[in-house]
């Protein structure tokens, strides 16, 4: 099974390479913005896949900057700026949406802003108008990571590229043999599956959270209220941020690889599970992020992957049936 999964992942990566080329036309160096310096392991997987893609293409990363730590005036410097992919574009997370759209509005002619592939959700009608107004400019190169998101951006007059998630550039991830039948990883945030509470307490995990002191420091470092001189405390060389993301990814793959089968409503637990060569039984999250992505990119019998309507059903399926 592992060889067929490797083959399917390589085909998907080749498609991603082709689709990313227009976004990076003429790009030799850039600054990486909105870097995920927080405990979401999926976002760390995206950032590391992104860095691997740029390294393979020979693109130099001059700086990596988490949210709100972008050096003042960078958007006026006739430079290429790239925003982290993954997550959700469209207003579901207002602070990040405001950061991206205001950055796009401040871009000077001659600058380029690359928004790497995102899911798109518009919670309110005004969110559509806000994104359309901010991103409808020649300096912005925009990518959606599933067909539904691509269509949503086209409907508001934008011109996105349809590109698979950047985590696929990690390639196949070797791991130890599984130690148990199941790992059940369920979201504990507003994007959780509607049926997330249908499993007995204690049977699930989510991505581990940072300690309370680290979370408090994060809110201080990356709050918009911090003055520019204080934000310089978060300035570090690219290797520092890459190392932090590597540690988070290693923790995530260790958690997931323990199971023969991974049951989850997190998109990147699903993606990383496949990259580990594990069987995945997915439960869609609240905004259909997983099913939209799977319908666009994972309709391949070489992937040991299927959906279930609830966590309890998924756990039964995982232990009583074979992969498709």
For the stretch 257-283, pLDDT in tens is 999 999 999 999 999 999 999 999 999
Residues of the domain holding 217: 172-320
Distance between CA 38 and CA 188 in Å, rounded? 16
Q: Compute the 3-state secondary structure of the chain and give helix, strand, coil in percent, each to the nearest 5.
A: 45, 15, 40
Clarify whether residues 153 and 8 are in a common domain: yes
Clarify whether residues 114 and 179 are in a common domain: no
Clarify whether residues 164 and 205 are in a common domain: no
Clarify whether residues 181 and 265 are in a common domain: yes
Looking at 169, 201, 228, the residue that finishes a domain is: 169
Residue 115 CB-density burial (10 A; 0-12 exposed, 13-18 middle, 19+ buried): buried
Look at the chain and report how many structural domains it folds into.
2
Clarify whether residues 200 and 156 are in a common domain: no
What would the two tokens of residue 22 be? 């227009």
Looking at 169, 187, 208, the residue that finishes a domain is: 169
Which CATH number fits the domain that encloses residue 42?
3.40.50
Q: pLDDT per position in the chain (324 positions), as tens?
A: 778 999 999 999 999 999 999 999 999 999 999 999 888 999 999 999 999 999 999 999 999 998 878 877 787 778 999 999 988 999 999 989 999 999 999 998 889 999 999 999 999 999 999 999 999 999 999 999 999 999 999 999 999 999 999 999 999 999 999 999 999 999 988 888 866 555 554 578 899 888 777 777 666 666 666 666 666 666 789 999 999 999 999 999 999 999 999 999 999 999 999 999 999 999 999 889 999 999 999 999 999 999 999 999 999 988 887 665
According to the model, what pLDDT value does residue 153 have?
98
According to the model, what pLDDT value does residue 98 have?
93
Give pLDDT tens digits for 88-122: 999 999 989 999 999 999 998 889 999 999 999 99
Clarify whether residues 145 and 206 are in a common domain: no
- Cα 24-115-171 angle, rounded to 5 deg: 70
pTM (predicted TM-score): 0.93
According to the model, what pLDDT value does residue 95 have?
87
Clarify whether residues 108 and 201 are in a common domain: no
Clarify whether residues 153 and 228 are in a common domain: no
According to the model, what pLDDT value does residue 201 have?
46
Cα dihedral 311, 317, 322, 324 sign: negative
According to the model, what pLDDT value does residue 228 have?
62
Clarify whether residues 182 and 310 are in a common domain: yes
Clarify whether residues 13 and 160 are in a common domain: yes
Q: In what order do the strands lie in the sheet with 279-282?
A: 180-185, 259-264, 279-282, 305-307
According to the model, what pLDDT value does residue 212 have?
74
Neighbours of 50 (CB within 10 A): 25
Least Cα distance to 42 among 286, 245, 278, 287 occurs for 245
Kindly state the helix (H) or strand (E) to which residue 10 belongs, with its residue range. Answer: helix 2-20
According to the model, what pLDDT value does residue 324 have?
59
Looking at 138, 169, 200, the residue that finishes a domain is: 169
Q: What is the dihedral of CA 168, 174, 180, 184, to 10 degrees?
A: -20
Least Cα distance to 120 among 95, 99, 151, 96 occurs for 151
């Amino acid at each position: 099974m592992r060889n067929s999964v490797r083959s399917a992942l390589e085909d998907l990566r080749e498609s991603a390479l082709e689709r990313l080329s227009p976004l990076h036309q003429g790009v030799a160096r850039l600054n990486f913005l909105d870097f995920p310096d927080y405990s979401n392991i999926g976002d760390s997987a995206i950032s590391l896949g992104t860095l691997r893609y740029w390294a393979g293409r020979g693109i130099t990363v001059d700086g990596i900057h988490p949210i709100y730590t972008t050096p003042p005036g960078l958007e006026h410097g006739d430079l290429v700026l790239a925003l982290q992919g993954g997550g959700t574009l469209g207003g579901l997370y207002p602070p990040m949406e405001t950061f991206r759209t205001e950055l796009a509005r401040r871009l000077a002619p001659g600058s380029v802003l690359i928004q790497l592939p995102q899911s798109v959700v518009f919670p309110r009608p005004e969110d559509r108008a806000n994104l359309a107004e901010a991103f409808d400019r020649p300096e912005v190169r925009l990518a959606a990571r599933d067909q539904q998101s691509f269509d949503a951006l086209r409907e508001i007059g934008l011109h996105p590229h349809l590109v698979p998630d950047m985590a696929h550039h990690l390639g196949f991830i070797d791991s130890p043999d599984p130690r148990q039948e199941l790992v059940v990883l369920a979201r504990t945030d507003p994007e959780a599956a509607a049926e997330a509470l249908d499993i007995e307490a204690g049977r699930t995990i989510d991505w581990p959270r940072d300690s309370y002191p680290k979370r408090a420091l994060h809110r201080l470092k990356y709050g918009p209220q911090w003055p520019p001189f204080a934000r310089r405390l978060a300035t570090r060389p690219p290797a520092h941020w890459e190392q932090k993301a590597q540690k988070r990814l290693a923790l995530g793959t260790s958690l997931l690889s323990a199971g023969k089968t991974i049951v989850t409503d997190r998109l990147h637990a699903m993606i990383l599970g496949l990259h580990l060569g594990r069987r995945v039984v997915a439960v869609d999250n609240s905004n259909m992020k997983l099913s939209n992505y799977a319908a666009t990119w994972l309709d391949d019998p070489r992937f040991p992957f299927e959906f279930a309507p609830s966590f309890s059903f998924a756990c039964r399926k995982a232990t009583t049936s074979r992969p498709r």
